[in-house]
């Protein structure tokens, strides 16, 4: 494994390597087993893999959240070293990716970015699309790997690649969970012991909603989930919805004929947790 902090030397290094396929795994660091599952899949499917570690400022709408995001580069590199020479790490400073000004490009993703996370985090997906396009164009990988925990982000990235006609395959990777069901996230490290103990209730709410499919209307399922979290003083529910898996538009009624997913976002103290399950 080799570490590069600047794009130009890294691209020069890649040009000298003998490889037919290149995998890309973009991360913001504080790596956990969910990230490592992405890297493992990329290593198995490509001759060479670039793992990026970069906390992208343009996708944060809250400066405190940006500043508090965990940074564990030394530990991250130790974990990635287990993959050997097939992995190259790119961990730049902000100026390397935003040499002129730290702002997002402007994209039109239509209704796809107006619901759920898009409605709660102003400008978030514009920032995500900006950094992902920068990385994709910088490396032009054969495949790029993203987890389904950030399912709406994944839908935005698919739309980005289609709009920009980039010849890159975006690989959806399943959510990796802790033994108690909590979706793995770098933010989990900021939970207090008490918060960590009750955090799996987020996933349990999704499973309970899924179990009620076909027996209750979508409105009844959502109302019950909302009631549960409104009765729980430790949680602040942002949204709970059941949506079309492709358009991400909310569904209504009792009969679900298309592929759908249930989505949730809550705040547990200062930590925002998101999750989803396939219906």
Residues marked as catalytic = 35
CB 15 within 8 A of CB 59: no
The CA distance from 233 to 115, in Å, is 25
CB 26 within 8 A of CB 90: no
Closest of 40, 17, 1 to residue 139, by C-alpha: 17
* DSSP H or E stretch at residue 196: helix 193-198
The CA distance from 11 to 55, in Å, is 20
* DSSP H or E stretch at residue 79: helix 73-80
The CA distance from 274 to 62, in Å, is 17
Closest of 2, 3, 46, 53 to residue 32, by C-alpha: 53
Q: What are phi and psi of 106, to 5 degrees?
A: -110, 125
Q: What are phi and psi of 19, to 5 degrees?
A: -155, 145
CB 169 within 8 A of CB 142: yes
Dihedral, CA atoms, 266, 278, 25, 82, nearest 10 degrees?
90
The CA distance from 218 to 19, in Å, is 49
CB 218 within 8 A of CB 242: yes
């Amino acid at each position: 494994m080799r570490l590069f902090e600047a794009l130009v030397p890294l691209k020069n290094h890649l040009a000298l390597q003998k490889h037919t396929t290149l995998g890309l795994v973009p991360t913001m660091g504080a790596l956990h087993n969910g990230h490592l599952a992405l890297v493992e899949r990329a290593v198995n499917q490509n001759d060479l893999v670039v793992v990026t570690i970069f906390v992208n400022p343009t996708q944060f709408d809250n400066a405190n959240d940006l500043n508090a995001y965990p940074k564990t580069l030394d530990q991250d590199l130790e974990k990635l070293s287990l993959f050997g020479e097939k992995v190259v790490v790119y961990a730049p400073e902000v100026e390397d990716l935003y040499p002129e000004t730290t702002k997002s490009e402007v994209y039109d993703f239509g209704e796809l970015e107006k619901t759920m996370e898009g409605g709660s985090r102003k400008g978030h997906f514009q920032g995500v699309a900006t950094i992902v396009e920068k990385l994709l164009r910088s490396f032009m990988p054969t495949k790029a790997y993203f987890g389904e925990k950030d399912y709406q982000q994944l839908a935005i990235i698919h739309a980005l690649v289609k709009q920009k006609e980039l010849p890159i395959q975006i690989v959806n990777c399943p959510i990796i969970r802790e033994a108690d069901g909590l979706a793995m996230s770098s933010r989990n490290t900021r939970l207090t012991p008490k918060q960590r103990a009750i955090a799996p209730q987020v996933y349990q709410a999704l499973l309970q909603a899924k179990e009620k499919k076909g027996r209750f209307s979508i409105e009844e399922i959502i109302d019950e989930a909302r009631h549960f979290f409104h009765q729980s003083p430790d949680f602040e529910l942002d949204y709970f919805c059941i949506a079309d898996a492709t358009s991400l538009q909310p569904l209504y009624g009792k009969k679900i004929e298309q592929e759908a997913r249930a989505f949730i976002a809550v705040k547990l103290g200062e930590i925002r947790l998101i999750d989803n399950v396939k219906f």
